[in-house]
Structure 1
Amino acid sequence: MTHRLMWLLGATLLLVTPVASAEPFVFTAIPDEDETRLQKRFQKVADYLTDELDHDVRFVPVKSYSAAVTAFRNDQVQLAWFGGLSGVQARERVPGSRAIAQGVEDTEFRTYIIANEDTRLETDAGLSDEMRDLSLTFGSKSSTSGRLMPEYYLREHFGEPPEETFSRVGFSGNHSRTISLVASGAYQLGAVNYAVWENEVEAGEIDTDAVRVIWKTPRYPDYQWTIRGDIDDRFGDGFTEQVQQALLTMDDPDLLESFPREGFIKADNDDYAVIKEVGNELGLLDP
Structure 2
Amino acid sequence: MLKKLIGAVAITASFAFSGIASANTFVFTAIPDEDETKLIERFGVVADYLEEQLGVEVRYIPVKSYAAAVSAFRNNQVQLAWFGGLSGVQARLLVPGSEALAQGTEDPDFKSYIIAHSSTGLEPMDQLNDELRGKTFTFGSKGSTSGRLMPEYFLREAYGEAPESVFSRVGFSGNHTRTVRLVEAGTYELGAVNYKVWDAGVADGSIDQSKVQLIWKTPGYPDYQWTIRGDVDATFGEGFKEKVREALLNMDDPDLLASFPRGGFIPASNDDYEVIRETAEALGIID
TM-score in terms of structure 2 length: 0.91
CA distance in 2, matches of 1:181, 1:202: 19
Displacement of 1:126 in angstroms is 3.7
Kept in 2, the 8 Å contact 1:139–1:146? The answer is yes
CA distance in 1, matches of 2:197, 2:28: 22
Which residue does the alignment assign to 1:273?
Answer: 274
Which residue does the alignment assign to 1:67?
Answer: 68
Unaligned runs of 5+ in 2: 1-21
- Residues 86-128 of structure 1, C-alpha deviation per residue, up to 9 Å, x if partnerless? 0000000000000000000001000000000000001336411
CA distance in 1, matches of 2:23, 2:90: 29
CA distance in 2, matches of 1:23, 1:160: 50
**In the alignment, structure 1 residue 283 sits paired with structure 2 residue 287:** no
Which residue does the alignment assign to 1:109?
Answer: 110
- Residues 49-87 of structure 1, C-alpha deviation per residue, up to 9 Å, x if partnerless? 000101100000000000000000011000000000000
Aligned pair in 2 of structure 1 residues 209, 123: CA closer, same or farther (>3 Å)? farther
CA distance in 1, matches of 2:153, 2:274: 15
Report matched runs for 1:119-158 at 5 Å.
119-124=120-125, 126-158=127-159
SS in 2 for 1:222: coil
**In the alignment, structure 1 residue 257 sits paired with structure 2 residue 258:** yes
SS in 2 for 1:191: strand
Unaligned runs of 5+ in 1: 1-20
Which residue does the alignment assign to 1:28?
Answer: 29
Which residue does the alignment assign to 1:164?
Answer: 165
Letter in 1 for 2:170: V
Displacement of 1:208 in angstroms is 1.4
Which residue does the alignment assign to 1:214?
Answer: 215
Which residue does the alignment assign to 1:93?
Answer: 94
Which residue does the alignment assign to 2:79?
Answer: 78
- Which is greater in Rg? 1
SS in 2 for 1:39: helix
**In the alignment, structure 1 residue 204 sits paired with structure 2 residue 168:** no
- Residues 199-247 of structure 1, C-alpha deviation per residue, up to 9 Å, x if partnerless? 1110100111211111000000000000000011111000000000000
Which residue does the alignment assign to 2:179?
Answer: 178
CA distance in 2, matches of 1:126, 1:171: 23
- Residues 21-62 of structure 1, C-alpha deviation per residue, up to 9 Å, x if partnerless? 661000000000000000000000000000010110000000
CA distance in 1, matches of 2:111, 2:87: 16
TM-score in terms of structure 1 length: 0.91
CA distance in 2, matches of 1:37, 1:123: 30
CA distance in 2, matches of 1:213, 1:205: 15
CA distance in 2, matches of 1:207, 1:62: 29
Letter in 1 for 2:34: E
CA distance in 2, matches of 1:242, 1:125: 44
Letter in 1 for 2:225: Q
Aligned pair in 2 of structure 1 residues 31, 279: CA closer, same or farther (>3 Å)? same
Letter in 2 for 1:138: F
Report matched runs for 1:36-51 at 5 Å.
36-51=37-52
CA distance in 2, matches of 1:161, 1:71: 31
CA distance in 2, matches of 1:158, 1:53: 49
CA distance in 2, matches of 1:47, 1:255: 11
CA distance in 1, matches of 2:217, 2:47: 33
SS in 1 for 2:188: coil
Which residue does the alignment assign to 2:190?
Answer: 189
CA distance in 1, matches of 2:260, 2:247: 16
Q: Runs in 1 of length 4+ with deviation above 3 angstroms? A: none
Letter in 1 for 2:179: T
CA distance in 2, matches of 1:188, 1:211: 9
